[in-house]
Amino acid sequence: MLVSREMIEFTKSLPLVSIIIPNYNHEAYLALRIDSVLSQTYQNFELIIMDDCSKDKSKEVIEQYRSNSKVSAIIFNTENSGSTFKQWKRGIELAKGEWIWIAESDDYCDANLLANLIEESKKCNNVVLSYCQSYQVNESGDILRSMSFYTDELDVEHWSNSYCVDGLGEIQKFLLYKNTLPNASAILFKKSAYIQADKSFESMKLCGDWMLWVQLLKIGKIAYCSESLNYFRTHSATTRVLDTLLKKRIRLEEEYKIVLDIKSIPGLSGVNVGSRIHTILKEYSMAFAKNSMFKYLVWPFSYKGSIPYYKLLSTKLKLLLE
């Protein structure tokens, strides 16, 4: 898509957006990802491309864009960071923009995503996060369904229309229960809010995005565009696939940490938080093989989980007695 000179001149007066593409082994999707960013109708942006020691030919794809005037930095790690959230941090530190967009390397987007999200962010004061609805697509890019299926169990109506609301209310009603902003590629957030926010998300493996959204929404408002402008790709290599008991336990440990953080917010319902913690502990106790539980019962010091041992044991015993 060609962008007119008039559009480029117009967007120079608008907020600068720093777009970060953190890549790892997504050679097959990378060109479409980068092209969908470069073809945005909103052109006041810089693009930072990062590769975390990919084992495929991602670097060759990235090098094709080195001379593009929108690309402000290309970073090739010499060692794998072990966490996409560490990559986010590094990219944000390089960012010069007022807004940050983490454009995941296996996703792609509509040409109007940036323009719409910037426009939504202006609809009320103190917006720190602006995002849109997404389509879920498969490895070939075929649309499978709207991502509304993921949030319908919480509220069928809430995401049917665009809105701008207080961040604390969004946390209490929805983010306490699940990550209702499931794809970073659909989200813009203010760098100034990020600087103020707690950075505990950086140490997480699976739920760092969820934790970051919570920290940002403690600071300001959230704007939502109901139009599906983001294409969220699902495939077997995604970190969301909980294919081992260990991965399930790690995710639940991180969810537990998020809920405890939310619990500290003044005015939140203690009953709801208590119920949510109980659900996590129940699922966590079921994510251990029987021989592991026997070992922890006999040798409790061998337990290394971040959820307190006594909570795991008491929950497991209650389940056995039910």
- The rounded distance, in Å, linking the Cα atoms of 85 and 268 is 28
d(CA 3, CA 117): 19
pLDDT, tens only, 265-287:
987 767 789 999 999 999 999 99
> Per-domain residue ranges for the chain?
5-233, 245-321
Residue with the two structure tokens 């809920």: 259
- Would you state the pLDDT for residue 1? 47
**pLDDT value for 294:** 81
Q: Indicate the pTM of the whole model.
A: 0.92
Q: How far apart are CA 17 and CA 42, in angstroms?
A: 9
Quickly name the fold that domain 5-233 has. Answer: Spore Coat Polysaccharide Biosynthesis Protein SpsA; Chain A (3.90.550)
pLDDT tens per residue across span 114-138: 999 999 999 999 999 999 999 999 9
Average pLDDT over residues 96-123: 98
Burial of 294 (0-12, 13-18, 19+ CB in 10 A): exposed
| pLDDT of 214 higher than 60 | yes
Distance of CA 284 to the CA centre of its chain: 22
Q: Dig out the tokens for 101 from the structure.
A: 């967009």
Chain centre distance of CA 164? 19
CB 214 within 8 A of CB 106: no
CB atoms within 10 A of CB 141: 12
Q: What does the pLDDT read at residue 3?
A: 54
**Euclidean distance between CA atoms 109 and 119, whole angstroms:** 17
- The mean pLDDT value for 245-249 works out to 93
Per-residue confidence at 291, pLDDT binned at 50, 70, 90?
confident
Q: What is the average pLDDT score of the chain?
A: 92
* Euclidean distance between CA atoms 253 and 265, whole angstroms: 20
The strand pairing partners of 23, in sequence order, are: 51
Q: How far is 297 from 300, CA to CA, in rounded Å? A: 6
